[in-house]
Structure 1
Amino acid sequence: MNFGINKTMYETLEEEINSHVDYVLHEPTLKNFVQPREWEEVEHTDLSLNPVFIAIYDINFKLVENSPNLIQNKLEWNKNQAEQTPFYANYNSIQMLLSQAKLVHHGEVVGYLVVGISTKHNQLALDYLQKALLLIFPISLIIIFLLARFIAAKSIKPVFNVIHTAQAISENNLSERIILPKNKDELYQLSTTINSLLDRLEFQIIKAKQFSSDASHELRTPLAVIKGTLEILIRRERTTEEYNEKINYTLKQVNRLYNLVEQFLLLSRVENNSLQLTSSDFDIKNEVLSSIDRFQILLDEKQIEVNTTELSSQSLSNYKEFIEIIIDNILSNSIKYVHLKGEITISSVTENNLYHLIFEDNGIGMSEDDLKFVQDRYFRIQDESMLNVSGYGLGLNIATKLAQLTNAKINITSTQGKGTKIVLTFILK
C-alpha cells in the first residue's frame, strides 16, 4: 500500500520534470521558462489537495519562476543530488519528495528546475488507513470466526450423523445405514462407501452364521452316528460280520468328518496364501481319469454313467496337486446334483492356444439367481429334491480360488431342470 502511494508521487514528479524540460528544449524562442497559464493549474495554486511546488533558477542560480503555492522559496538546487532522481528533504518539519533537472535550450543550459511534492497528505492517508485497519481487522476476525463456526457446525453435522450411526451398529443391529447427505460431495461418497461396506459385512456375517449353523449340524450328525454305533457295539457280544459292518459304517462317518475338516483347512491356506506352489508336467486326461476312479464308489451307488470319449490327452506344466483338487471338486459337485442313473460327460476342446476341459451333466441345474452366487463360499442350491444331499458350499469356491492360482478360468452355465456345464480353461505354453 505504501509502495502504491509513493509510486504515484514518483510518477507525478517525473511527469512534471519531463513537461518543463521538453517545453524549454523545444520552444523556438525562449521567452518564459513555463508554458502559458501553467501557474493557473490547481496543483500549483492549492495547498490542501496534492500540491506540486516548482522553482526555476537561471544559470546563476537566481530564482526567476516559482509556482504560486510556493510562498517561501525553499526548493533550492542541490548540487549533491543527481538529476531526475527523486530524493527526500525536510522543509519546516515537512518532508518533501524532490527532483531536479537542468533546462536546456538549443544545446545550452539556460536554467535549473526543482520540483517538490509534500508527503504530508500521503502520510495522513496512511495514518487514517492504519487506524481504520486496526479497528476493522479485529472486528473482521471476530465476524469471520463466528461465520466459520456456524458454517463448520453446519458442515460437520453429517459427520456426527455418520459417527452416531457407526456407534449404533453392532453384530445384532447390522441393518442400520447412514443417511446420505443431499449434496453429492466427498461426505456423500464416504457415506455411500460405508453403507456399501456395511452391506458386505452384513452379508458375510449372515453367511457365517448360516455356515456355523450348517457346519454344527453337519458335524453333529456323523459324531452322533459314530457315538451311537460304538455304544451299540459295546452293549453285547456280536459276530465278526456285525462288527465289520458297524466298523465300516463308522469309518464312512469318520471319512465324512475328515473331508469336511480338509475342506476347511484348504480354504484357509488358499486365503492366507500359505500354499507351497510347485509346478510339474502331467497329462490332464490322466488326472481326470484318476479323479473318476476316486469317485467310482459314489458313481456306482447312483448308477451314474461317465462319458469320456471326447476327452483328449494334453500335457500341461502347472500345479498338479491344485488341478487334482479342482477336478475333484467339480466332479464331486456334478455327482451330488445328478439324479439316479444320470450321466456326466467330460470332454475337451483345444483352440487358439487354449485347452478347454468341459464337464456336462443332466442334473437338476440352477436358476439364473443361483448361478450368480454358485462360486461364493457356503452357497448351496435351494432345491427341495436335494435336501438330503450333504455338502458345505465350499467345493466350487475352493476350485475357483485354486483356478486363479493356476492361471486357469472357470465358466459355469446352467439351465434349471436340465443340467449344468462347467468349462475349465488352461493356457497352453
Structure 2
Amino acid sequence: MKIKNKITFIFVILVATMQLVIFTVIYLFAVDYTTSAFFDKLKKRTIIAEQSYFEKDTLNVEIYEDLRRKHLQTLPEEQEFIFPINTELKAISEELKIALPETFYSSLITNNYAEAKVGKTFLSGINYNDHTANYLIILTAQDHDGVNELSNLRTLLFFLFLLNIIVLLLLGRFFAKRTLNPLTQIIEKVNTIRVTNLHERLQTTHNRDELSQLASTFNDMLDRLETSFDIQSNFINNASHELKNPLTAILGQTEIALLKERSPEEYIKVLEGVETEALRLDALINSLLKFAQTENDEKGLLISPMRLDELILEVKGNIDLINPENKIEIDFNDFPENPDLLVVEGNYGLINIALNNILDNASKFSENKKVIVKIVANNSVIKIVVTDQGVGIPADEIKNIYQPFYRAANVRNVKGYGFGLPLTYKIMKLHSGTIEVFSEHKKGTIVTVIFPNKHQRTSISK
C-alpha cells in the first residue's frame, strides 16, 4: 500500500472512529432523555388516574373537570389497572399480559412507586392508601413518538456518518497527496540521477521538516557517491598508469634485446633492467593486493590480542634489516604501569602492515632523520604518536593523502606508490580506530594512530 493511501486510510479510520463514538453518545443520550421524558409523562398519568378514581369526592367540580380533560389526553396503548395490595405478582402479570419484573413489584410495595420498561411497553405504578385499604394502580403505555424520533435520529446519524466518510476520504486523499508531493518530487528526481549526472542535487527548502531533512540526506549521499566515483576513477587511471610503466619498460628492453644477437654482458644488463622493472611491478601488485585484501577482510577477520609495544619493536626490527640507516627511536617515558593497557584485539598481520607503513614513511620522507615513536595508553584508548623531521605535507594537499596513488608534489621524486596512508587508514577504520595527521611543510609530520583499548572494544567494526 502506498504511503498516500495508508495516510488517507489511517486518517479516515481515526476521524470516523471519533465521529462514531460521538454519534453513539448522542444517540444514547437521546434514548435516555426520551425514556426519562416518557416515564415522567406516564408518572403524571398515573397520578391523574389515582386522583380520578380515589379522590373524586374530595375535589371540587372545577378541579375534577380539569383532571378529566388531562386524563382524556391518553398516551399510545395506555391501559389502567387497579389491584388490591394483596394481589400476587403472577396474577398481576397475567392481567397485564406482561412478565412484570419482580424488582418493579418489590419497589411498588416498598417505596409506593415503581417504573419499568418491558420490551416496548412502559409501566408506572403507585401504591395508594385510602385509610381503609391499599390499592396498586398500574399504567402501561408505549412511546410511539419517541420510537419514531429515535428511528429518525438513527437514520440521520447513519447518513451523516456515511457522508462524513466520503468527505474524509476526499479530504484525506487531497491533504495526503499535498503533504507527500515533495516526496514524490524527490523520488522522481532521484530516479533521473545516473552515473553520468551525479553532480545533480535535490532541491531543498529552509523548512526543518522530515522531507527537507530527507532531501538533505540524499544530497549528502550523492556528495559521497560522487566523491567515491571520482576516487575510483582516479584510482583506476593511476593504477593503469603505474602498471603500464614497468610493463612498457620490460617489453621495450626485451624487444630491443631480441633485435639482434648481443654479448653476454649486454644480455646481463638487459636482464638486470627487466629484473628492476619486474621488482617494481611486483611491489606495486603486492600493494594493490594488500589494499584489496582489506576489503575482503572486513567480512571476517582473525582477531587476537596483541601488545602494541612488542609489535612496534618487531616492526622497527624489520625496518632495521631493510634500512639500517634509519634513526627511529621509541620513547618509553609514557608507558603505562599496567602492561594490560597496551593490549589491543585485532588482526595481527594488518596492524603490522599499518605500523610498518607509518614508520617506513616517517623514515623515508625525513631522509633518515630522527623519528620518535611514543606510546600513550589509558583505560579508553591506546595512542601511537610518530613524529618525524621530514619535508612535511603542503597544507592544501593534506585532504588528499588517503587517496590511493596520491603523492604530494614535494615527494614525487621519492620512491613509492602512494599506498601507505590509504592502506593504513582502511586498516585503522577496520579496527574501529582512527588516524590523525598533522604536518607543516618543510618542518615535519606527526602521525597519531588511536586504537580502542581492549577493555572498551567489544567488536570489530563492520
TM-score by length of 1: 0.71
**Aligned-pair CA distance for 1:178:** 1.7
Cα distance in 2 for partners of 1:316, 1:185 equals 46
Per-residue deviation, 1:121: 1.8
Which residue identity is paired with 1:334? A
Deviates more, 1:9-18 or 1:270-279: 9-18
Query: Does structure 1 residue 395 correspond to structure 2 residue 420?
Result: yes
Partner residue in 2 for 1:331:
359
Query: What SS does the corresponding residue of 1:178 show, helix, strand or coil?
Result: coil
Contact 1:158 1:181 in 2 (8 A): no
Structure 2: distance between partners of 1:280 and 1:156: 52
Rounded to whole Å, the distance in 1 between the matches of 2:29 and 2:158 is 20
Q: Distance in 1 between matches of 2:79 and 2:399?
A: 96
TM-fit CA distance, 1:81: 0.9
1:6 corresponds in structure 2 to 31
Candidates 332, 349, 354, aligned match of 1:321: 349
Q: Where do residues 21-420 of structure 1 align in structure 2 (5 Å cutoff)?
A: 57=82, 59=84, 80-82=99-101, 83=104, 84=114, 86-88=116-118, 97-103=121-127, 110-116=134-140, 118-132=142-156, 136=160, 139-180=163-204, 183-272=207-296, 273=298, 277=302, 279=304, 283-293=310-320, 295-296=322-323, 305-308=326-329, 310=331, 319-335=347-363, 337-338=365-366, 341=367, 343-349=369-375, 352=378, 356-366=383-393, 370-371=397-398, 374=401, 376-378=402-404, 380=406, 383-389=408-414, 391-403=416-428, 410-420=435-445
Amino acid at match of 2:358: I
| TM-fit CA distance, 1:211 | 1.3
The 2-side partners of 1:391 and 1:180 are apart by 44
CA-CA distance at 1:419 after TM superposition: 1.1
Q: Residues 328 and 363 of structure 2 are in contact (CA less than 8 Å); yes or no, is this contact kept in structure 1?
A: no
Contact persistence 1:291–1:327 (CA under 8 A) = no
Identity percentage of aligned residues: 24
Q: Provide the rounded CA distance (Å) in 1 between the counterparts of 2:29 and 2:220.
A: 58
- Residue deviations 1:193-241, cap 9 Å, x none? 2222111111101111111111111111111111122223223444544
Query: Which shows bigger deviation, 180-189 or 201-210?
Result: 180-189
- Count of aligned residue pairs for this structure pair: 394
SS of the aligned residue for 1:87 comes to strand
Structure 1 residues 238, 330: closer, same or farther in 2, change over 3 A?
farther
Preserved contact between residue 316 and residue 428 of structure 1 (Cα < 8 Å): yes
- The answer to whether the 8 A contact 1:77-1:112 is kept is no
For the structure 1 residues 359 and 110, does the alpha-carbon distance in structure 2 shift closer, same or farther, using more than 3 Å as the test? same
- Asked if structure 2 preserves the Cα contact closer than 8 Å seen for 1:322 and 1:406, the reply is no
One-letter code aligned to 2:242: E
CA contact under 8 A between 2:123 and 2:141: conserved in structure 1?
Answer: no
Relative distance call for 1:111 and 1:370 in structure 2 (3 A) is farther
Deviations 1:2-43 (CA, angstroms, capped at 9, x unpaired): 544332244346667889999xxxxxxx979x9xx99989xx
Structure possessing the higher relative contact order (Cα contacts under 8 Å, 6 or more residues apart): 2
CA contact (8 A) 1:291 1:324 kept: no
Amino acid at match of 2:178: K
Q: 1:233 to 1:80 in 2, by over 3 A?
A: closer
Instruction: Give, as a single letter, the amino acid of the residue that structure 1 aligns with 2:391.
Output: I
Structure 1 pair 329/344, CA: closer, same or farther in 2 (3 Å)?
same
Query: Could you say if the C-alpha distance between residues 278 and 135 of structure 1 is closer, same or farther in structure 2, counting changes exceeding 3 Å?
Result: closer
For the 8 Å contact 1:357–1:423, the answer to whether it is kept is: yes
Assess, with a 3 A threshold, how the Cα gap between structure 1 residues 309 and 144 changes in structure 2: closer, same or farther. Answer: closer
Deviation at residue 408 of structure 1 after TM alignment: 5.9
CA contact (8 A) 1:412 1:420 kept: yes
Equivalent AA in structure 1 for residue 369 of structure 2: E
Q: In 2 relative to 1, CA 388–400 (structure 1 residues): closer, same or farther, beyond 3 Å?
A: same
- C-alpha separation in 2, matches of 1:187 and 1:330: 44
Residue 362 of structure 1 deviates from its aligned partner by: 2.0
CA contact (8 A) 2:331 2:373 kept: yes
Judged with a 3 Å threshold, the aligned counterparts in structure 2 of structure 1 residues 323 and 187 are, in CA distance, closer, same or farther, namely closer
Q: Do the aligned partners of residues 281 and 176 (structure 1) sit closer, same or farther apart at CA in structure 2, a change above 3 Å counting? A: closer
Query: Which secondary structure state, in structure 2, belongs to the residue aligned with residue 103 of structure 1?
Result: strand
Judged with a 3 Å threshold, the aligned counterparts in structure 2 of structure 1 residues 187 and 421 are, in CA distance, closer, same or farther, namely same
Superposition deviation, residue 54 in structure 1: 9.2
Coordinate RMSD, CA, aligned: 4.8
User: In structure 2, the residue corresponding to 1:308 is in which secondary structure?
Assistant: strand
C-alpha displacement of 1:328: 2.1
Q: 1:404 to 1:151 in 2, by over 3 A?
A: closer
2:357 corresponds to which letter in structure 1?
N
Greater mean deviation of Cα atoms: 195-204 or 123-132: 123-132
Q: Which moved more, 1:201-210 or 1:190-199?
A: 190-199
TM-score, with structure 2 as normaliser = 0.67
Q: Is the 8 A contact 1:410 1:424 kept in 2?
A: yes
Mapped to 2, the partners of 1:204 and 1:329 lie a distance apart of: 24
Counterpart code for 1:348: K
Give per-residue Cα distances to partners, 1:135-186, cap 9 Å, x unaligned: 5555545444443443344334323312321222111111122223565433
Runs of 5+ consecutive residues of structure 1 not aligned to the other structure: 23-29, 62-75, 90-95
Moved more, 124-133 or 134-143: 134-143
For residue 211 of structure 2, give the secondary structure of its aligned residue in structure 1.
Answer: helix
SS of alignment partner, residue 235 of structure 1: coil
Q: Could you tell me how far apart the structure 1 residues matched to 2:378 and 2:174 are? A: 67
Judged with a 3 Å threshold, the aligned counterparts in structure 2 of structure 1 residues 216 and 155 are, in CA distance, closer, same or farther, namely same
